[in-house]
Structure 1
């Protein structure tokens, strides 16, 4: 497997581990825990023969794995990110007070399962690439926002412009509705006038044919 050993620790106190059978991975891992400088969050890797020990420490919880050097860094650190999230979600604040190996019986099975997934399932690397692409998109968006701010454009002005555009749209709709109503009434009046004119023309023709305005010859 690409990832052959993993542990979760608080400082130098190992809370859960799995793998490393027939190797000195556990001993080397404990030496690394002792030597990690400071208390700040960190992402570091240590080389040992053909193996690399990758370490992620976040909020006082350290997750470590030993991987073959051919695995690179992307998959091991994705594994560490996954394990850290699962561990903190499962145990919460108990992580910071638990005794050594307090979570080993239960969480070692999670380590085993995720080690196998990240070592053998091709979807693991595909998901990591997708996450990387999403992170790049997010960074581009943040960079674009920074550029807007650097030009001196205030976000309040952008909001005001949007509000003005919305107001103009509402006014345009109202004006369009009034215009349609005006045109409709004008068409009604024109139609009525045409009908009246047609009736007058018919009457004039009948008066001429019937020899008088009272139409005398037409009603004998």
Structure 2
């Protein structure tokens, strides 16, 4: 069995490819990549023409190889796993960067949550302040109204008291209790 073609793709974009024999595998590989993305299954085996395309789909990266033996699935599977785990220094840098980006996203998410909580508390505080201002204005109006009512009653009491005193004085003068 011969592995005639292999590639690594991110989505439909081929990142790296190797052809060991003559032939055009790009069109068939593009078709296989499209099918792999549609299915989104971890392992796929697709027969196209005289070749069998084996794929390993992990984290959006597709590892693909084409073999000329439809009966042998062990060799292509081992080849794909070896491709996946054969990492170089650039992959570790990319992994480190991905890890840092994930950490930054986590911290940003926490900060956004804290900001939203503070905004919510600030809104509650603002609502309470508005309520207190409204209550204070209503209290001032109530005090003014009560003051006006009190003065009206006070004036009535003074008028009634003066009328009673005047009546008493008139009665006392008319009965000669108070000499004139």
Instruction: Please give the range of the TM-score, normalised by the shorter of the 2 chains.
Output: 0.3 to 0.5
When normalised by structure 1's length, the TM-score is: 0.38
Larger Rg: 2
Q: Normalised by the size of structure 2, how large is the TM-score? A: 0.46
